[in-house]
């Protein structure tokens, strides 16, 4: 069976060796006679899976000792509510930088529980850039400052983090966690839906500094209280067992590859190949401000909708799938997460060059 190069923004391609290992272990995980999908989450075997997934993530991201790692449910979208419910603990005020649709949704949700101060927005230019980080002034009395490190729909990312002083920096890292080296100690909280760089959909990663745990608002539902999940080591209720197991396999794969510094180098190389093609073309036009370009989601347009549709159709016929831009912006988006091999990017570029010659 031939596999395609899948440029889907999420759920997205997983590393082939990980899928093969999961396939091998599917019917009988480590001699238990069952798959990880069938296993009690209270069993010692599953406990070991959660523990090693956690340890591996701590190692890969260099997570300091005063942080907790959680495997939750509800996607990044649930974090849009969980963050304010837990972190509005002093002045019920937060700063938000609006760099895309997801950042906007996060801010809207926080507004239900407290005061939201929009410190910057790139809406004026269709979210094609990251507002000047140096001018993003954190309110000294805010409970936290929220950013989206990589904007999946618009293909932008922060190359420099805003300086928020003593105000905890909270990051939605859904579409670039583990793609480049981050100093976790700069953040109060990081969250990410797993379905791009980590695992199948289902599990949501939260990395939270200890001092931010245990101060949830009284109205916080039990499932949305970080302390409940910290106290129960992510096993308060039935977790997404299979996704957590897959995350562990992906973490092992990444560690074997040389960890985050190694994948960052590959990611930069992959993105360079694709952006070079766009910049040297008269048919394709990059949509993101060059200095803020994402190395995970590469967005570009063609001169007409007809040509865009033709591009997508012919790419598909060449085994290059899910290149359609987000429904709100159109155009093309190639998501080249960690698991996309460099060969996939080269195949896409070869196709793009050929398509350009044929459609001049
Ligand atoms: C940056 C970002 N934040 C949030 C979300 C929403 O995540 P979920 O579907 O896991 O709720 C997405 C989904 O693509 C995303 O890319």
CATH code of the domain in which 143 resides: 3.40.640.10
Condensed to tens digits (0 to 9), the pLDDT of residues 249-291 reads 999 999 999 999 999 999 999 999 999 999 999 999 999 999 9
- Compute the distance from residue 178 Cα to the ligand 1 centre, in Å: 16
Condensed to tens digits (0 to 9), the pLDDT of residues 60-71 reads 999 999 999 999
Q: Among 102, 177, 337, say which to mutate for ligand 1: greatest number of ligand atoms within 8 Å of CB.
A: 102
Whether residues 252 and 299 share a domain: the answer is: no
pLDDT of residue 2: 87
In the sheet that holds 144-148, the strands lie side by side as: 67-72, 204-209, 189-193, 169-172, 144-148, 93-98, 115-121
Structure tokens at 28: 């009988």
| DSSP one-letter code for 295 | S
Distances (CA, A) of 292 to 132, 158, 184, 224, 342: 10, 6, 21, 33, 22
Whether residues 196 and 313 share a domain: the answer is: no
pLDDT of residue 350: 98
Whether residues 111 and 140 share a domain: the answer is: yes
Q: Among 76, 81, 97, say which to mutate for ligand 1: greatest number of ligand atoms within 8 Å of CB.
A: 76
CA distance 87 to 134: 24
Whether residues 33 and 124 share a domain: the answer is: yes
Whether residues 49 and 68 share a domain: the answer is: yes
Q: Is 316 buried (19+), middle (13-18) or exposed (0-12) by CB count in 10 A?
A: middle
pTM of the model: 0.98
CA distance 335 to 323: 8
Helices (H) and strands (E) in the chain, counts: 9, 14
Does a structural domain hold residue 10?
no
Residue ranges of alpha helices (H) inside 111-176 are none
CA distance 249 to 234: 18
pLDDT of residue 106: 98
Contacts of 124 (CB under 8 A, 6+ apart): none
Structure tokens at 123: 């809406």
CA atoms 109, 112, 116, 121: torsion sign: positive
Residue where one domain finishes, among candidates 256, 271, 295: 256
pLDDT band, residue 327 (cuts 50/70/90):
confident
Does a structural domain hold residue 33?
yes
Does a structural domain hold residue 5?
no
Q: For the chain, what percentages of helix, strand and coil (3-state, to nearest 5) are there?
A: 40, 15, 45
pLDDT (mean) for 311-317: 98
CA distance 14 to 355: 27
Whether residues 115 and 230 share a domain: the answer is: yes
**Is 289 near ligand 1, meaning CB less than 6 Å away?**
no
Structure tokens at 250: 């992906």
pLDDT of residue 360: 81
CA distance 171 to 131: 16
Whether residues 130 and 222 share a domain: the answer is: yes
Residue where one domain finishes, among candidates 256, 275, 305: 256
Whether residues 159 and 93 share a domain: the answer is: yes
Neighbours of 54 (CB within 10 A): 22
Q: Among 71, 100, 154, 174, say which to mutate for ligand 1: greatest number of ligand atoms within 8 Å of CB.
A: 174
pLDDT at 101 over 80: yes
**Is 172 near ligand 1, meaning CB less than 6 Å away?**
yes
Whether residues 149 and 271 share a domain: the answer is: no
Considering only CA atoms, which of 164, 147, 142 is closest in space to residue 92? 142
Structure tokens at 87: 């972190």
φ/ψ bin of 105: left (φ > 0), alpha (ψ from -120 to 50), beta (otherwise): alpha
Does a structural domain hold residue 141?
yes
Percent of the chain exceeding pLDDT 90 equals 96
pLDDT band, residue 57 (cuts 50/70/90):
very high
Condensed to tens digits (0 to 9), the pLDDT of residues 122-160 reads 999 999 999 999 888 899 999 999 999 999 999 999 999
Whether residues 194 and 57 share a domain: the answer is: yes
**Is 193 near ligand 1, meaning CB less than 6 Å away?**
yes
| DSSP one-letter code for 325 | P
pLDDT (mean) for 29-46: 97
Domain enclosing residue 79, as ranges: 16-256
CA distance 197 to 138: 29
Closest residue by CA, ligand 1 atom 10:
75
Which of 181 and 137 is assigned the larger pLDDT? 181
Helix axes 342-358, 259-279, angle to 10 degrees: 0
**Is 12 near ligand 1, meaning CB less than 6 Å away?**
no
**Is 174 near ligand 1, meaning CB less than 6 Å away?**
yes
pLDDT of residue 135: 86
Whether residues 60 and 205 share a domain: the answer is: yes
Neighbours of 245 (CB within 10 A): 23
Residue where one domain finishes, among candidates 224, 256, 288: 256
Closest residue by CA, ligand 1 atom 4:
76
Specify the pairing of strand 150-151 against strand 156-157.
antiparallel
- Compute the distance from residue 172 Cα to the ligand 1 centre, in Å: 8
Percent of the chain exceeding pLDDT 70 equals 100
Whether residues 105 and 201 share a domain: the answer is: yes
pLDDT of residue 221: 98
CA atoms 31, 36, 40, 42: torsion sign: positive
- Compute the distance from residue 335 Cα to the ligand 1 centre, in Å: 14
Q: Is 215 buried (19+), middle (13-18) or exposed (0-12) by CB count in 10 A?
A: middle
pLDDT of residue 137: 87
Average pLDDT score, the chain: 97
Does a structural domain hold residue 7?
no
Q: Which atom of ligand 1 is nearest to the CA of 194?
A: 10
CA distance 118 to 111: 11
Q: In 3-state terms, what secondary structure has residue 56? A: helix
Does a structural domain hold residue 94?
yes
Does a structural domain hold residue 11?
no
pLDDT (mean) for 74-93: 98
CATH of the domain at 301: 3.90.1150.10
Number of domains into which the chain is organized: 2
pLDDT of residue 328: 82
Does a structural domain hold residue 6?
no
**Is 149 near ligand 1, meaning CB less than 6 Å away?**
no
């Amino acid at each position: 069976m031939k596999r395609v190069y899948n440029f889907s923004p999420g759920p997205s391609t997983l590393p082939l060796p990980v899928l093969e290992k999961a396939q091998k272990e599917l019917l009988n995980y480590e001699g238990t006679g069952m798959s990880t999908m069938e296993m009690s989450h209270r069993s010692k075997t599953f406990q070991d899976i959660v523990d090693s997934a956690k340890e591996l993530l701590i190692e890969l991201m260099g997570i300091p000792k005063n942080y907790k790692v959680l495997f939750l449910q509800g996607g990044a979208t649930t974090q849009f509510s969980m963050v304010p419910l837990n972190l509005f603990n002093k002045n019920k005020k937060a700063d938000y930088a609006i760099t895309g649709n997801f950042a906007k949704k996060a801010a809207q949700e926080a507004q239900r529980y407290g005061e939201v101060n929009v410190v910057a927005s790139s809406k004026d230019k269709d979210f094609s850039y990251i507002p000047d980080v140096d001018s993003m002034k954190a309110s000294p009395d805010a409970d936290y400052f929220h950013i989206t490190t990589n904007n999946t729909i618009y293909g932008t990312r922060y190359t420099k983090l805003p300086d928020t002083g003593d105000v905890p920096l909270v990051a939605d890292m859904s579409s670039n966690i583990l793609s480049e080296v981050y100093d976790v100690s700069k953040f109060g909280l990081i969250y990410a839906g797993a379905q791009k760089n980590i695992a199948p959909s289902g599990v949501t990663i939260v990395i939270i500094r200890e001092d931010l745990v245990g101060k949830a608002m009284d109205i916080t539902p039990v499932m949305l209280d970080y302390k409940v999940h910290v106290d129960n080591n992510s096993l308060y209720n039935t977790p997404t067992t299979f996704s957590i197991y897959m995350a562990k396999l992906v973490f092992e794969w990444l560690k074997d590859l040389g960890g985050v510094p190694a994948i960052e180098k590959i990611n930069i190389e992959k993105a360079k190949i694709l952006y070079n093609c766009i910049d040297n073309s008269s048919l394709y036009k990059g949509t993101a401000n060059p200095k803020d370009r994402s190395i995970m989601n590469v967005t570009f347009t063609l001169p007409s909708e007809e040509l865009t549709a033709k591009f997508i159709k012919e790419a598909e016929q060449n085994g290059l799938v899910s290149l359609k831009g987000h429904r709100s912006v159109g155009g093309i988006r190639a998501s080249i997460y960690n698991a996309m091999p460099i060969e996939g990017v080269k195949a896409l570029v070869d196709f793009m060059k050929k398509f350009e010659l044929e459609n001049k």
